[in-house]
Amino acid sequence: MPEPHAAVGERRDSAGPPYTGQHTVRNRIQHGPCALCGRHAELTFHHLIPRKVHRRTFFRKHFSREDLARGVNLCRLCHKGVHRLHDEMTLAKRLNSLESLRADPALARHADWVRKQKKGLTGADAADG
């Protein structure tokens, strides 16, 4: 049985891995093509319906757990751009599919910019670019 007050990074029990407070399967570092810009890079998981709104009644009534868990793998620059350009409610209601993300003019401009960046550039290096 896990300890009730284990801190982040501490073991929850003697048999399991350290508790990180995150989903370990989705947060494994993966490399491959970004779903928005197409660059081969380290990928992060983007929930198409942001986790912040999952507990709201509207989303619990209108979407299954599987729908709420759906997402795409994005490079760090594209992932930061998605969240910088749009708030969670806009992402949840209007931009909740890969097709709608790709069709958004602001995200399309951002993806064009990302394609021109150096391979080693990360979100922190390019935040003001």
First to last CA, the chain: 48
Phi, psi of 71 (to 5 degrees): -170, 180
Per the listing, tokens 């998981």 go with 45
Taking only the tens of pLDDT, the chain with its 129 residues reads: 444 444 444 444 444 444 334 443 455 568 899 999 999 999 999 988 888 777 788 777 777 788 777 899 999 999 999 999 999 889 888 898 999 999 999 999 999 999 998 776 554 445 444
Torsion of CA 65, 71, 76, 79, to 10 degrees: -80
Single pTM value for the model: 0.68
